[in-house]
Amino acid sequence: MKKMVLVAAMLAMTAGSAYAADMAVKAVRAPPPPPFEPWDFAFGSALMNDYIFRGITQSNHKPSVAAYFEPRYNLNKDLQLYIGVAGESISFPNRAAAEIDVYGGIRPTIGMFAFDFGVWGYLYPGGQCFGSQGTTLQGNCAVFGNSIDFSQGAIGLPINGNFAKKSASFYEGYAKVNVTLNDQWQFGVNEYYSPNFLNLGAWGNYASITGKWTAPSTTFGSSGVGMYISGEFGRQWLGTSDAFYGTTTATAFGGPFPLGIPEPSYNTWNVGVGFTYKVFTLDLRYYDTNLSKGNCNAFTSDYSTTNFSPSFVTAINPGGFGSNWCSATGVVKFSADLTAMTNLK
């Protein structure tokens, strides 16, 4: 009898131990992952002392504000579709009211490689036409017979007589890849192409390489402040404009170009340091190009320049005005960027 009681007690202890072990396993078992949410939304805004696009000011070296909204749809964790709209305040020669960007594309990720393919449209509403020196009248200037309506500003921009079309809108196709080597180092390659860059009548091709170093998260202790250093080197190739921007004056350097000027291709670069805190970024950046002041004036149709010198005369800039829109400049930019699934939960 005692033996039976002892055996029963041992069996009860064994069963209890097995039940306790099972409970322990269940207690540490991870909860099921949250359901996959394909939709996300990114949005943000920025304030900067100058709006620079590929080394050239878009705001006449004056402050600019910007904002964007980007709905995203994730087919899976490695494939995202997106569309977006953005706006920036500008100061263009044709007096356009603003820059409105509409874009969309696809972002596949394969391991350390994050790709981005899409189309970007740049719209500049509210522009006016200022003159034409070419043999063909174009650029949305009002035309009566064989003459331009001078009430539309056909004699050119005030002060320097540069020309600007009513519309500068254009689009580009792009392909980009960003390579993340580790938590600190990233590198990228970018390619953009437009059949009619800035509506000049000239094709445009822009290619660049980028690099970014992100400081370790412990750099500023537990403050939550992050830091990075980044830079870019790029080249903008340009074709020949249409006759709207043609020249009828020869210079010692060449010309004239009545059917359109060979737009000046150029190099551009930037380097800067940024500080992040939660959704906020403060970016301090230096920009420059290798465009001369004369060729910069011919390319941008700078409406504000009064700088005149024989040294600014080039084959495509016979007037002798020079622009600093392509010169070295420093930009301070403060921005906030959020995503709904991450920041608003």
pLDDT in tens, 178-214: 999 999 999 999 999 999 999 999 999 999 999 999 9
pLDDT, residue 200, reads 96
pLDDT in tens, 249-308: 999 999 999 999 999 999 999 999 999 999 999 999 999 999 999 999 999 999 999 999
Nearest to 189 by CA among 228, 230, 232: 232
Q: Can you tell me the distance from the alpha carbon of 120 to that of 99, in angstroms, rounded to the nearest whole number?
A: 12
Helix, coil or strand: residue 3: helix
CB 116, CB 176: distance < 8 Å: yes
pLDDT band at 135; cut points 50, 70, 90:
very low
pLDDT in tens, 16-50: 555 544 554 455 566 776 677 899 999 999 999 99
pLDDT band at 146; cut points 50, 70, 90:
very low
pLDDT band at 147; cut points 50, 70, 90:
very low
Contacts of 126 (CB under 8 A, 6+ apart): 95, 96, 97, 98
Token duo for residue 11: 């069996």
Residue 237 has pLDDT above 50, yes or no: yes
- Strand runs (DSSP E) across the chain, as ranges? 39-48, 52-53, 56-57, 64-76, 79-88, 99-110, 113-123, 143-144, 147-148, 170-180, 185-194, 204-214, 225-238, 266-277, 280-289, 329-339
pLDDT band at 2; cut points 50, 70, 90:
low
pLDDT, residue 30, reads 63
Q: Which pTM does this prediction carry?
A: 0.86
Residue 138 has pLDDT above 70, yes or no: no
Question: What percent of the chain is predicted at pLDDT more than 90?
Answer: 77
pLDDT band at 155; cut points 50, 70, 90:
low
**223 beta partners:** none
Task: Using the CB atoms, write b or e for 82-119: b if 16+ within 10 Å.
Answer: bebbbbbbbbbbbbbebbbeebebebebeeeebebebe
pLDDT, residue 159, reads 78
Average of per-residue pLDDT across 99-127: 98
